[in-house]
Amino acid sequence: MRLHVADHPLVAHKLSVLRDADTASPTFRQLVDELVTLLAYEATRHVRTRDVEVVTPVATTTGVKLANPSPIVVPILRAGLGMLEGMTRLLPTAEVGFLGLQRDEETLEAITYANRLPDDLTGRQCFLLDPMLATGNTLVASIDYLLQRGARDVTAVCLIAAPEGIRVVEQFVGDRADVQVVVAAVDERLNEKAYIVPGLGDAGDRLYGIV
Protein backbone atom coordinates (compact mmCIF):
# COMPACT_ATOMS: atom_id res chain seq x y z
CA MET A 1 0.00 0.00 0.00
CA ARG A 2 1.27 3.45 -0.83
CA LEU A 3 0.50 6.42 1.40
CA HIS A 4 0.56 9.94 0.05
CA VAL A 5 0.22 12.82 2.51
CA ALA A 6 -0.59 16.08 0.75
CA ASP A 7 2.00 18.67 1.67
CA HIS A 8 0.53 22.00 0.65
CA PRO A 9 -0.14 25.20 2.61
CA LEU A 10 -3.67 25.55 1.17
CA VAL A 11 -4.54 22.03 2.31
CA ALA A 12 -3.12 22.76 5.78
CA HIS A 13 -5.06 26.04 6.00
CA LYS A 14 -8.39 24.56 4.96
CA LEU A 15 -7.93 21.55 7.21
CA SER A 16 -7.25 23.79 10.21
CA VAL A 17 -10.55 25.65 9.66
CA LEU A 18 -12.31 22.31 9.18
CA ARG A 19 -11.01 20.99 12.51
CA ASP A 20 -12.28 24.03 14.43
CA ALA A 21 -15.30 23.03 16.54
CA ASP A 22 -16.84 26.45 15.80
CA THR A 23 -16.95 25.84 12.03
CA ALA A 24 -20.62 25.33 11.15
CA SER A 25 -22.02 22.83 8.60
CA PRO A 26 -22.30 25.16 5.58
CA THR A 27 -18.62 26.20 5.84
CA PHE A 28 -17.61 22.66 6.74
CA ARG A 29 -19.24 21.30 3.57
CA GLN A 30 -17.65 23.97 1.43
CA LEU A 31 -14.20 23.23 2.88
CA VAL A 32 -14.57 19.48 2.39
CA ASP A 33 -15.43 20.14 -1.25
CA GLU A 34 -12.42 22.40 -1.72
CA LEU A 35 -10.06 19.98 0.03
CA VAL A 36 -11.19 17.07 -2.11
CA THR A 37 -10.51 19.04 -5.25
CA LEU A 38 -6.94 19.65 -4.05
CA LEU A 39 -6.46 15.99 -3.02
CA ALA A 40 -8.00 14.75 -6.26
CA TYR A 41 -5.15 16.35 -8.16
CA GLU A 42 -2.73 14.01 -6.33
CA ALA A 43 -5.08 11.03 -6.27
CA THR A 44 -5.51 11.07 -10.05
CA ARG A 45 -1.83 11.42 -10.87
CA HIS A 46 -1.85 7.88 -12.33
CA VAL A 47 -5.28 7.95 -13.91
CA ARG A 48 -5.15 5.98 -17.17
CA THR A 49 -5.10 7.92 -20.41
CA ARG A 50 -4.96 7.17 -24.13
CA ASP A 51 -3.31 9.16 -26.90
CA VAL A 52 -5.62 11.10 -29.20
CA GLU A 53 -5.09 13.29 -32.23
CA VAL A 54 -6.00 16.94 -31.65
CA VAL A 55 -6.43 19.44 -34.44
CA THR A 56 -5.67 22.92 -33.12
CA PRO A 57 -6.27 26.07 -35.21
CA VAL A 58 -2.57 25.86 -36.07
CA ALA A 59 -1.54 22.22 -36.38
CA THR A 60 -2.32 18.62 -35.63
CA THR A 61 -0.81 17.27 -32.44
CA THR A 62 -1.06 14.33 -30.07
CA GLY A 63 -2.94 14.85 -26.84
CA VAL A 64 -4.41 12.55 -24.20
CA LYS A 65 -7.88 11.72 -22.99
CA LEU A 66 -9.02 9.52 -20.14
CA ALA A 67 -8.90 5.84 -21.14
CA ASN A 68 -11.91 3.53 -21.24
CA PRO A 69 -13.38 2.02 -19.16
CA SER A 70 -13.83 5.18 -17.16
CA PRO A 71 -12.79 5.27 -13.49
CA ILE A 72 -15.38 4.57 -10.83
CA VAL A 73 -15.79 6.82 -7.81
CA VAL A 74 -17.32 5.33 -4.67
CA PRO A 75 -18.28 7.58 -1.76
CA ILE A 76 -18.69 5.73 1.54
CA LEU A 77 -21.97 7.00 3.00
CA ARG A 78 -22.69 9.13 4.84
CA ALA A 79 -19.64 11.31 5.24
CA GLY A 80 -18.01 10.32 1.94
CA LEU A 81 -20.96 11.82 0.11
CA GLY A 82 -19.63 15.25 1.05
CA MET A 83 -16.57 14.49 -1.09
CA LEU A 84 -18.35 13.29 -4.23
CA GLU A 85 -18.91 16.52 -6.08
CA GLY A 86 -15.34 17.73 -5.54
CA MET A 87 -14.06 14.50 -7.05
CA THR A 88 -16.43 14.26 -10.02
CA ARG A 89 -15.70 17.88 -10.87
CA LEU A 90 -12.21 16.68 -11.85
CA LEU A 91 -13.41 13.33 -13.24
CA PRO A 92 -16.72 14.21 -14.90
CA THR A 93 -16.85 11.02 -16.98
CA ALA A 94 -16.38 8.74 -13.97
CA GLU A 95 -19.17 6.38 -12.98
CA VAL A 96 -20.34 6.51 -9.38
CA GLY A 97 -21.01 3.53 -7.13
CA PHE A 98 -22.23 3.71 -3.54
CA LEU A 99 -21.33 1.97 -0.31
CA GLY A 100 -23.17 2.68 2.93
CA LEU A 101 -21.26 1.62 6.02
CA GLN A 102 -21.72 2.65 9.60
CA ARG A 103 -19.29 2.02 12.39
CA ASP A 104 -20.82 0.27 15.42
CA GLU A 105 -19.57 2.61 18.13
CA GLU A 106 -19.42 -0.29 20.68
CA THR A 107 -17.68 -3.02 18.67
CA LEU A 108 -16.07 -0.64 16.10
CA GLU A 109 -17.13 -3.11 13.41
CA ALA A 110 -18.19 -1.61 10.06
CA ILE A 111 -21.80 -2.55 9.27
CA THR A 112 -22.91 -2.41 5.63
CA TYR A 113 -26.40 -1.01 4.93
CA ALA A 114 -26.04 -0.16 1.22
CA ASN A 115 -24.05 -1.62 -1.62
CA ARG A 116 -24.58 -0.41 -5.18
CA LEU A 117 -21.50 -1.32 -7.16
CA PRO A 118 -21.06 -2.79 -10.64
CA ASP A 119 -20.71 -6.59 -10.46
CA ASP A 120 -17.48 -6.58 -12.44
CA LEU A 121 -14.73 -4.10 -11.63
CA THR A 122 -11.99 -5.94 -13.47
CA GLY A 123 -9.61 -3.43 -15.03
CA ARG A 124 -11.39 -0.44 -13.49
CA GLN A 125 -9.58 2.25 -11.56
CA CYS A 126 -11.52 2.80 -8.34
CA PHE A 127 -11.54 5.85 -6.10
CA LEU A 128 -13.01 5.43 -2.61
CA LEU A 129 -14.02 8.59 -0.76
CA ASP A 130 -14.24 8.84 3.03
CA PRO A 131 -13.04 11.78 5.13
CA MET A 132 -11.99 9.69 8.15
CA LEU A 133 -9.70 6.66 8.40
CA ALA A 134 -9.81 5.81 12.11
CA THR A 135 -9.54 2.10 13.07
CA GLY A 136 -9.45 1.25 9.37
CA ASN A 137 -12.35 -1.22 9.65
CA THR A 138 -14.58 0.77 7.29
CA LEU A 139 -11.90 1.22 4.66
CA VAL A 140 -10.83 -2.44 4.83
CA ALA A 141 -14.45 -3.58 4.33
CA SER A 142 -14.84 -1.15 1.42
CA ILE A 143 -11.60 -2.17 -0.29
CA ASP A 144 -12.64 -5.80 0.18
CA TYR A 145 -15.93 -5.19 -1.69
CA LEU A 146 -13.96 -3.75 -4.61
CA LEU A 147 -11.38 -6.57 -4.65
CA GLN A 148 -14.15 -9.20 -4.53
CA ARG A 149 -15.48 -7.69 -7.77
CA GLY A 150 -12.09 -7.90 -9.48
CA ALA A 151 -10.68 -4.41 -8.87
CA ARG A 152 -6.91 -4.33 -8.43
CA ASP A 153 -6.27 -0.59 -8.67
CA VAL A 154 -7.79 1.29 -5.75
CA THR A 155 -7.14 4.79 -4.46
CA ALA A 156 -8.73 5.91 -1.19
CA VAL A 157 -9.04 9.65 -0.72
CA CYS A 158 -9.37 10.61 2.94
CA LEU A 159 -8.99 13.87 4.81
CA ILE A 160 -7.58 12.62 8.12
CA ALA A 161 -6.05 9.25 9.00
CA ALA A 162 -4.89 7.73 12.27
CA PRO A 163 -1.59 5.79 12.25
CA GLU A 164 -3.43 2.78 13.74
CA GLY A 165 -5.88 2.68 10.83
CA ILE A 166 -3.18 3.04 8.21
CA ARG A 167 -1.42 -0.02 9.65
CA VAL A 168 -4.65 -2.05 9.59
CA VAL A 169 -5.27 -1.20 5.93
CA GLU A 170 -1.64 -1.92 5.07
CA GLN A 171 -1.84 -5.35 6.69
CA PHE A 172 -5.10 -6.20 4.95
CA VAL A 173 -3.90 -5.16 1.51
CA GLY A 174 -0.46 -6.83 1.61
CA ASP A 175 0.37 -7.58 -2.01
CA ARG A 176 -3.21 -8.41 -3.07
CA ALA A 177 -3.65 -5.22 -5.06
CA ASP A 178 -2.27 -1.82 -5.94
CA VAL A 179 -3.79 0.36 -3.22
CA GLN A 180 -2.97 3.98 -2.66
CA VAL A 181 -4.23 6.13 0.22
CA VAL A 182 -4.14 9.90 -0.29
CA VAL A 183 -4.70 11.99 2.84
CA ALA A 184 -4.52 15.61 3.87
CA ALA A 185 -3.03 14.70 7.27
CA VAL A 186 -1.98 11.79 9.46
CA ASP A 187 -2.94 12.68 13.02
CA GLU A 188 -1.47 11.54 16.35
CA ARG A 189 -3.62 8.62 17.48
CA LEU A 190 -7.05 7.27 18.34
CA ASN A 191 -8.63 8.06 21.71
CA GLU A 192 -10.42 5.55 23.96
CA LYS A 193 -13.57 5.84 21.80
CA ALA A 194 -11.54 5.31 18.62
CA TYR A 195 -11.97 8.92 17.53
CA ILE A 196 -9.02 10.52 15.77
CA VAL A 197 -6.97 12.92 17.91
CA PRO A 198 -6.91 15.85 17.27
CA GLY A 199 -9.19 14.99 14.32
CA LEU A 200 -12.36 16.94 13.68
CA GLY A 201 -14.99 14.91 15.53
CA ASP A 202 -17.67 12.93 13.69
CA ALA A 203 -17.38 13.95 10.05
CA GLY A 204 -20.90 12.77 9.16
CA ASP A 205 -22.46 14.74 11.99
CA ARG A 206 -20.48 17.86 11.14
CA LEU A 207 -21.53 17.62 7.48
CA TYR A 208 -25.16 16.66 7.91
CA GLY A 209 -26.15 17.10 11.54
CA ILE A 210 -26.47 14.59 14.34
CA VAL A 211 -28.68 11.52 13.83
Ligand X SMILES: O=P(O)(O)OC[C@H]1O[C@H](OP(=O)(O)OP(=O)(O)O)[C@H](O)[C@@H]1O
* Residue numbers belonging to the annotated binding site for 5-phospho-alpha-D-ribose 1-diphosphate: 78, 103, 130-138, 202
Q: Give CA–CA dist 78/69, Å, rounded.
A: 27
Q: Can residue 75 be called a binding residue for ligand X (CB under 6 A)?
A: no
Question: Are 102 and 96 contacting, i.e. CB atoms less than 8 angstroms apart?
Answer: no
Catalytic residue chosen out of the listed positions 19, 103, 124, 206? 103
Q: Can residue 165 be called a binding residue for ligand X (CB under 6 A)?
A: yes
Summarize the annotated binding site as residue ranges.
Answer: 78, 103, 130-138, 196, 201-203
Using the contact rule CB under 5 A, the part of the chain among 86-94, 148-156, 171-179, 200-208 near Mg ion is: 200-208
Question: Are 47 and 102 contacting, i.e. CB atoms less than 8 angstroms apart?
Answer: no
Catalytic residue chosen out of the listed positions 56, 60, 107, 175? 107
Give the one residue of 15, 18, 94, 132 binding ligand URA; rule: CB under 6 A. Answer: 132
Q: Can residue 159 be called a binding residue for ligand X (CB under 6 A)?
A: no
Give the one residue of 33, 170, 178, 202 binding ligand X; rule: CB under 6 A. Answer: 202
Q: 156, 123, 130: which is closest to 5 by C-alpha?
A: 156
Considering only CA atoms, give the Rg of the chain. 17
Q: 25, 33, 20, 31: which is closest to 200 by C-alpha?
A: 20
Instruction: Report the run of H or E that residue 156 belongs to, with start and end.
Output: strand 153-161
Q: Can residue 169 be called a binding residue for ligand X (CB under 6 A)?
A: no
